[in-house]
Structures are given as C-alpha cells and as structure tokens.
C-alpha cells in the first residue's frame, strides 16, 4: 500500500479528523487491558478503580505493597527495592562504550542549555530601608519516573534530571519497573550514573507514583514527580497531585510539520515517520501549501516505511492520527498550527525564521530543514519533555523553573505602610474582613 497517510484538502474535514483532539483519559480500553486488570485484581475494574486500589495499598502497606505489585503486575521478584552498587556497575559494564559516550554528550548539551536560564533570588530596597523581593529555592527532593519494558528511554531521564540539577535540587531519585529477571533496564541505570542520580528504585506503574508521593520504608517521599508513563501512571499522578507536585499529564507524542513547495518531500516524510514510530497513538501531521508536495510526501512515506523496524506501529499511527492537510497559504497553516498547539512544530519553509513570530502555541519549534525533531529528542540541548494534548496553549517544556519554588518577601518601609493602608483597609472592609481592616489601621495608626 503506497497511501499509508491520507491527504485532506477540506479544512472542516481536517479539523474533525487529524486535527481533532481526544482527551488522553478517554482512550478506549482494549479487551487485553481489561483482561490484564482482571488477572491482577481478581475482578473487573476500570483503570481508575485499579489505580485507586493500588495507591490505597501503597499508602497503607508501604514496601509490602510494592513487592506484591512487582510480582502481580510486572511478574518480577526483587530482593531489594533499591538498585545496588553492583547492579549499577554491571549495567555500566554491559553497555557499549559508544552508547555511554552518547549519553554523556547529551547530558552535557542539556546542562549547557539550561544553565543559561536565570533563576536567582532578588530583593529591591528603597531609600527608607523597605524591601520587596523573591527568594528562589530549589525543591528538596524530586522523583523521576522512567518507563521500562521493551523500549526504555534513558534520554527522558536526562531531560528531566539535568534541569532539576541545574535548579539546585539536592536529591533526585528514580523509579523504574523491573523486568521478570528483577533488574531495571541497563540503559536506565547507565543514564542514572551519567548524571549522578542519588538512588534508583525497582518499582513501576501506579505503585511507583504512590511510593514517591507518600513515601514507604525504602522509597523516600518527594516534593515533585516528573517523567512520562502509561495510562496507569498518568491516572496515578492525577490522583496524588496536591499531596505532591507533578510535571503534568503528558499524553501521546505529536509532531506537526509545516512545509511549503520548497521543502524536500523525503525529509518531510522522514520527520512524519520518526514521530509515528513512538506509539500507535502518536500524531504525525503535515500541513502544506502545496498539493504537489502533499502527493510527493505521501509517496515518500510509502517508500520509506517498509525499511523501518517499527513499521507496524508506524502504520497504525498513520491510519489513526496521521494526515497531510493542504491549505491556501502559510498564514492559514500557522493559524491551524496555533489552534492545534502541537508538542513539536517543524517549519520546513522558505525563510523559516521570518515565520517564527507567528507561532503562539508550540512546545518546541524546529526552524528550517537542518533542524530535525529527532535530533532534538537527544542531543541539541532543550528538554524533549514538552506539553502535549494541546497544553502548549498554556504549558512549557521541562525547564529549571519546574524544580524551584518562590517565596515572596514583604518588608515595606513606614512611609509605604502609611501611603497604602487606607486603600488596603477599604478593600478589606468591602470584602467583609473587618479584622483585616482593623489590623491594617492599627499598624498605620489610622483608627
């Protein structure tokens, strides 16, 4: 089949199909998933009910619940929840030196980028000794979730850990699911060593989120949880928010490529396919001003796809969420892109820099044909943990500010108190807070 990706020239149809978003927690529950839940719990439960039970067990039973769910969910038996020094060393030794060097290169680039982000405390003093300011302090302890399974992502661990370290977080721990052999994926352990993670715990899924949020005998309670995960991880993060901070609720990944007639169709197709191989729910989309380019990209997708190892995943993503949308001009393309608010936005157009100012909503913008989203996933420098599901309308990529907190400083001079108290007292009276008004007037001798 050469037409793995559809072409849409009707904008209404495009908005109702490839550009229409579905909330991540409305994903259809497959029979296999339902059967898995029934196997683990001995009764049919919804994913949210399963997560509620897991979190309750972890909060009540601590380590015992973690060991139990390791066996029941991951079919893994572990002697200790924390990965030992021997395990770390063995993983390092088993990993190809060139791959270790690649992780070191990526970490260095990520660190150099985030060290440019300003996050200093400040205090402004007036002539009378009054002051206003902000104290900016790092969080005390951060927990990172690192998915395991058949495709561990050490790059995601680096993309969260390094900004937290640059922010000054003194303790960073990682939770990652063990395999049936009781071991965490070597690449996760190696990445943890590259950036100097304080501890790695062999626990995954909703139970890992519960352990980090509540603390157990072995796993310390953290101030914030960051990192991607499956449906159960996202449901757990949503439930523990308030007990602990979270980085968000990331959904399936997405790339939107804007291309004009000057774009190389082989590069457009390569970017679309790279996005599609992440997951069957990934969204690989192209918006182009050229019907000719759309057809050439469609042909290129069909030509390139068969040589890719994850071709079946790619085909499902293309059929489900993929598409090439043909528009009249680049302003219309940017309008659609801003409506969609993609995680990744690629500008494969002439004079790409001139269009950057038109981008309002995107997690990351990849400017020009030399800037591939795939390269940005690993070694360019900005974190690849970006807002998905349209949250780029208000969200930002993972950065240093995610791992600090602000404390405001109030120290107005006497003259400032006298100048502002009448207005403040009037507002307090209007809100019915007479004790507030009395405290203000007493301080300013206005009674």
The answer to whether residue 344 is catalytic is yes
Residue 393 Cα distances to 337, 364, 381, 384, angstroms: 11, 12, 22, 17
* DSSP, res 329: S
Report which of 169, 170, 243 is spatially closest to residue 212, judged by C-alpha positions: 243
CA distance 29 to 324: 28
The answer to whether residue 436 is catalytic is no
Which residues touch 146 (CB under 8 Å, ≥6 apart)? 152, 153, 154, 156, 157, 174, 175, 176, 188, 191, 227
Q: Which segments of 327-433 are extended strands (E)?
A: 344-348, 364-367, 404-411
Report which of 404, 362, 411 is spatially closest to residue 387, judged by C-alpha positions: 362
Q: Which segments of 86-209 are extended strands (E)?
A: 122-125, 131-138, 141-145, 171-176, 199-202
Q: Which DSSP helix (H) or strand (E) runs through 246?
A: strand 245-246
Among the options 87, 254, 343, 369, which is catalytic?
Answer: 343
Q: Supply φ then ψ for residue 103, to 5 degrees.
A: -65, -40
**What is the dihedral sign for C-alpha 253, 364, 195, 213?**
negative
CA distance 150 to 238: 25
Among the options 114, 254, 277, 344, which is catalytic?
Answer: 344
Q: Which residues are catalytic?
A: 343-344
């Amino acid at each position: 089949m050469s037409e793995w990706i559809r072409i849409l020239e009707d904008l209404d149809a495009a908005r109702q199909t490839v550009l229409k978003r579905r909330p991540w927690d409305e994903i259809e529950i497959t029979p296999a998933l339902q059967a898995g839940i029934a196997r683990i719990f001995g009764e049919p439960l919804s994913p949210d009910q399963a997560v509620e039970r897991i979190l309750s067990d972890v909060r009540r039973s601590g380590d015992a619940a973690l060991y139990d769910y390791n066996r029941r969910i991951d079919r893994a038996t572990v002697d200790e929840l924390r990965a030992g020094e021997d395990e770390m060393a063995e993983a390092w030794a088993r990993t190809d030196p060139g791959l270790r060097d690649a992780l070191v290169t990526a970490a260095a680039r990520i660190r150099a980028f985030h060290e440019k982000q300003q996050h200093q405390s400040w205090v402004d003093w007036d002539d009378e000794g009054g002051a206003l300011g902000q104290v900016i302090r790092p969080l005390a302890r951060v927990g990172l979730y690192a998915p395991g399974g058949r495709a561990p992502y050490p790059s995601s661990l680096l993309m969260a850990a390094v900004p937290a370290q640059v922010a000054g977080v003194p303790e960073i721990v990682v939770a990652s699911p063990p395999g049936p052999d009781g071991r965490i994926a070597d690449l996760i352990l190696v990445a943890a060593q590259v950036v100097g993670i304080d501890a790695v715990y062999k626990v995954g899924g909703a139970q890992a989120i519960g352990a980090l949020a509540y603390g157990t005998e072995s796993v310390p309670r953290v101030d914030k949880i960051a990192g991607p995960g499956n449906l159960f991880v996202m449901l757990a993060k949503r439930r523990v928010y308030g007990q602990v901070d979270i980085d968000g609720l990331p959904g399936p990944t997405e790339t939107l490529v804007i291309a004009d007639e000057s774009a190389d169709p082989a590069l457009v197709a390569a970017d679309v396919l790279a996005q599609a191989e992440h997951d069957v729910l990934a969204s690989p989309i192209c918006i182009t001003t050229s019907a000719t380019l759309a057809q050439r990209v469609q042909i290129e997708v069909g030509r390139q796809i068969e040589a890719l190892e994850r071709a079946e995943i790619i085909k499902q993503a293309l059929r489900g969420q993929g598409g090439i949308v043909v528009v009249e001009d680049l302003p219309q393309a940017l309008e659609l892109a801003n409506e969609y608010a993609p995680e990744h936005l690629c500008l494969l157009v002439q004079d790409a820099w001139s269009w950057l100012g038109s981008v309002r909503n995107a997690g990351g913008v990849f400017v020009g044909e030399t800037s591939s989203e795939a390269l940005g996933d690993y070694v360019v420098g900005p974190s690849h943990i970006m807002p998905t599901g349209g949250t780029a309308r208000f969200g930002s990529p993972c950065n240093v500010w995610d791992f600090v907190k602000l404390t405001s400083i109030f120290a107005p001079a006497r003259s400032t108190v006298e100048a502002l108290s009448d207005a403040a007292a009037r507002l307090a009276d209007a809100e019915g807070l007479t004790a507030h008004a009395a405290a203000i007037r007493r301080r300013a001798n206005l009674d």
